[in-house]
Amino acid sequence: MQSRKQKISSAKRGEPLELSPEQERLLKEGSYGERKALELLIALGDVYDASKLIPVTSVHISGASYKTIGDPGLRFLSEICEGCRAKVKSTVNPIGMDRERFHEMRVSEEFVVKQKEIIGYYESLGVLDSWTCTPYLIGNRPGLGEHVAWAESSAVIFANSVLGARTNREGGPSALASSITGLTPDYGLHKEENRKADVLFELEFDLEEKEFAPLGSFAGEICGARMPYFKKLSATEDNLKTLSASLASSGSVSMFHIEGLTPEWELGLKEECESVSVDRKDLEEIADSWNTEDDPDLVAFGCPHCSTAELGKLADMLKDGWKGPELWVCTSRAVCENIPETVQLINKHGKLLCDTCVIVSSVEDFSSTIATNSGKASTYLPTLCKQKTMFADAETLVRRFQ
């Protein structure tokens, strides 16, 4: 009978992935979930010609909303989580409802029951109480050069580009497998030689805050899976969060550099690189394409989940009142804990929802048009939530409805 190595060698080019004695032991003697998790990572490593599995210091898992994973995802979780514990710090993406305010979100009883089952499986693993796509705002914030295994495209690109951590764009199952084993295959963005940019973007003007989302979408469409390098761009961390989410949703970009700003920008560009000059009109066209309606039945902020500073700005603007449609502001429970006055102010005019977001909740059950300041939400709402969209920056949207 052929060994695993022989089978792989005859099936493909390249050397099969080497396991350490400890990893071999886990593959033979681990619990059902541990063995399945390791098999999944080995298969992934073999596909990408990884030579070994490497330890990770943190994991972020996607695939937690019942809306997105359904009954097949629930079954997968029930099997793989049994008898397993997270080996490293692990956070989880938003679920389909606020754990406390789900009645106000018009969620069905069946949905609530299934969603609670999913939460139970993740809690049995010992993940952090997170349910957010911005884990780096609540303590899962890896440093420069740390190997991690993150899912959630907007968080992956932020981790690689802004924090200088090293992760491939994991899927929910592979991130979960990394949480259970503490390992990931060593390929792609874990290797420094793969962290050079492919496309140089030069801006002919100073970027305004409202243009970060369209810029991400513009560059993401051009890059696809390639890596952009931006010249002449100053940005706050919140601007980079917006840019990250847009880049990763219009393309499948997993990392970018900004000259003089992001931690590994000096790795620079590959020798053979494309060059694109960005005109303000390019960004206006993107914003216009998202802005097809002007009578929304819901206004949604918090994609990705709001930071403390973003919530503070929204609360300040809302002091002048709100006469618009239903207002949702999404963030994590951990961010809310330290800002009770801000939370109260936003709740006076709308719903400050934790644990969830507009895309992974069942918003299509009661809404047809959503206004948002998010490029990622504008990209996904029409397809994943059957919505028409209105797009503008937060200030324009709030002032429009006062």
Which residues form the interface with ligand F3S (CB under 6 A)?
A: 93-94, 133, 154, 245, 303-305, 330, 357, 359-360, 376-377
Instruction: Determine how β-strand 369-372 pairs with β-strand 298-301.
Output: parallel
**Rounded distance between C-alpha atoms, residue 281 and residue 304, angstroms:** 25
Shortest reach from residue 97's CB to ligand F3S, in Å: 13
Which position has the token pair 């550099």? 257
* Of residues 190 and 376, the one with the C-beta less far from ligand F3S: 376
Shortest Å, Cβ 191 to ligand F3S: 27
The residue ranges of DSSP E strands in 40-187, in sequence order, are 53-55, 58-61, 89-92, 149-150, 183-185
Closest separation in Å from C-beta 136 to ligand F3S = 12
Contact assessment for residue 202 and residue 277, using Cβ atoms and an 8 Å cutoff: yes
Minimal distance, residue 357 CB to ligand F3S, in Å: 3
36 vs 67 by CB, closer to ligand F3S = 67
Query: Which residue lies nearer to ligand F3S by CB, 171 or 268?
Result: 171
Cβ nearer to ligand F3S, comparing 184 with 372: 372
Compute the CA torsion angle 185, 189, 193, 199 (nearest 10 deg): 150
Closest approach of ligand F3S to the CB of residue 94, in Å: 5
Helices (H), 264-305: 280-290
Report the DSSP pairing between strands 298-301 and 326-331. parallel
Check: CB of residue 61 under 8 Å from CB of residue 90: yes
Nearer Cβ to ligand F3S (84/219): 219
Provide the phi-psi class of 164: left if phi over 0, else alpha when psi is between -120 and 50, else beta. Answer: left
Shortest gap between Cβ of 360 and ligand F3S (angstroms)? 6
Q: Where are the beta strands (DSSP E) in 216-283?
A: 228-231, 257-258, 269-278
Q: Which is nearer to ligand F3S, 118 or 203 (CB)?
A: 118
Q: Where are the alpha helices (DSSP H) in 101-184?
A: 109-125, 153-158, 172-181
Distance of alpha carbon 304 from alpha carbon 360, whole angstroms = 12
Q: Tell me how far, at minimum, the Cβ of 128 lies from ligand F3S, in Å.
A: 16
Of 203 and 359, CB closest to ligand F3S: 359
